[in-house]
Structure 1
């Protein structure tokens, strides 16, 4: 189905200049028209796929009957397009969010239409993001933004680090009784920690060799507490000063290397792995609401 989606996005982008022109005259209408065009093309592809999966008689099939069938499918697709609560409504909301224009004023549309429609349509057509990845980013977005305001570290960097440490939420640290610690950053309980802890078996790389050890990790009452504590640990510890500076400059690779050099983790490939997850997170966030 991916080739069909690429075909859809290609045809939609072909009329982008017309949509841009309309955007200056009727902002809301231009976004709605874009969504309807996309839905219509999508429905035509669905009809085509249904026809292809149905055996034809072959007796009366010719170019004329094929053309008639295609015209009929186009009519059906047109009648199924633009219905209340349908696909075009969802696409309209997505385009508005992709464009970053909430009030859809003519001035803002003119400013954003040069690039955002071209970016939004392919994103809609090729967005094959696993549900658990979307869910993880959306779940922690607010907490990450609050921590970002306190530290200057981009929220995407923190969400990515939490994703890497917890395997996108699939390997969260839990107590022996199965209770949640909400510790998505893998922060250990240092001697000065007075909160709750959980004992967990983990892998540490010592002198180039991987060893299984049992360590104490911090436990929180919520994910918000975890992000707040992470922000405090990173911003108040002198050894992470360069890490914060790299993050505030938007240097994802430098941020990842700095964490490894500062001893945040013993995995010798930690920086490389984290940088990749940051890239993935930023790419996903660009296509999510």
Structure 2
């Protein structure tokens, strides 16, 4: 990629706000043109902020309930993203203030960075992408990295996909299924205990969707000695059940959306918006992983 190519073009119109692969590209450009990388990083932070503003405005608007479903919700989110992109980078906007702050912080001036600071500064630029990520999110990803990679070796499903699914099911570890004695069942994938399950179980109240309506039911879930056992059992369930054959195939292509939709179609969860929510969590996980790399 030549330096004459606009950075926003090289990274794609979505940049950090919508494409986790941009982190790696930003690192590459930062090594050669730190000033341009700072400018683009500032624009991406402004885009993230504007997306949150648009989201808050949309949530504050009274819903009519007519013709509203997961598809219209996704369309609204995509429209918010486009509006945010159009409103980003305008003269006198937030990105210019962020850019000045980053330049002072990293020592970027009108020219190139001094050679002694170049390595340190270019390492800090991609790390900025994780500053708006809560610590428990990064901790969850790091904690389960080894177990997820072991499960990847036996299933072919990307470790990031499985970490994200565990994060979605457990609320990044904050909503784990508990045993009656108050200890964790370590079931971070929300796998139920069917008739063939001979291990320990945790019986709790959960939300299921019947005919599109959320209802509270009491269900039995598998219980494990630790999280590593949960990942192993998940890998065994997904790779050893014909019901999930297409899910594994789609995961092997690296498609987060295909994997998420495959799980929903196979009946892993009853939530009609499960695929949309899971795909979003996968993209978040991948973005944070790339920024921490």
- TM-score of the two chains, using structure 1 as the length reference: 0.63
Larger Rg: 1
Cα distance, 1:12 vs. partner? Answer: 7.7
> Against the structure 1 CA distance between its residues 256 and 9, is the aligned structure 2 distance closer, same or farther, given a 3 Å change threshold?
farther
Counterparts in 2 of 1:233 and 1:126: CA distance versus 1, 3 Å? closer
* 1-structure distance, mates of 2:166, 2:263: 13
- Alpha-carbon distance, 1:274 to partner: 0.2
Residue 34, structure 1, aligned to residue 119, structure 2:
yes
Correspondence 1:143-158 to 2 at 5 A = 143-158=147-162
Provide Cα deviations, 1:43-100, integer angstroms capped at 9, x if missing partner. Answer: xxxxxxxxxxxxxxxxxxxxxxxxxxxxxxxxxxxxxxxxxxxxxxxxxxxxxxxxxx
1:33: how far off? 5.3
Question: Residue by residue, what CA displacement relative to the aligned partner does 1:189-240 show, whole Å, maximum 9, x if unpaired?
Answer: 0111110001010000011111100000000001000000000000001010
In structure 2, distance between residues paired with 1:224 and 1:168: 16
**Deviating more after overlay: 278-287 vs 1-10:** 1-10
How much has 1:123 moved relative to structure 2? 1.2
Conservation of the 8 A alpha-carbon contact between 1:256 and 1:271? yes
Please name the residue that 2:248 is paired with. Answer: 244
Residue matched to 1:166: 170
Offset, 1:13: 11
Alpha carbon RMSD of aligned pairs, Å?
Answer: 2.2
Match of 1:123 in 2: 126
Residues 247-262 of structure 1 mapped to structure 2, 5 A cutoff: 247-262=251-266
Q: Distance in 1 between matches of 2:238 and 2:102?
A: 43
Q: Specify the alignment match of 1:281 in structure 2.
A: 285
Unpaired runs of 5+ in structure 1?
20-29, 39-116
Q: Greater relative contact order (Cα 8 A, min sep 6): structure 1 or 2?
A: 2
Superposed CA offset, 1:144-163 (max 9, x none):
00000110100000000000
| 1:187 pairs with 2:191 | yes
Distance 1:9 1:242 in 2: 47
| Residues 6, 126 of structure 1: 8 Å contact kept | no
Question: In structure 2, which of residues 219, 230, 235 is the aligned counterpart of residue 231 of structure 1?
Answer: 235
Tell me the distance in 2 between the aligned counterparts of 1:154 and 1:12: 41
Q: Secondary structure at the match of 2:108?
A: helix
Partner of 1:11: 108
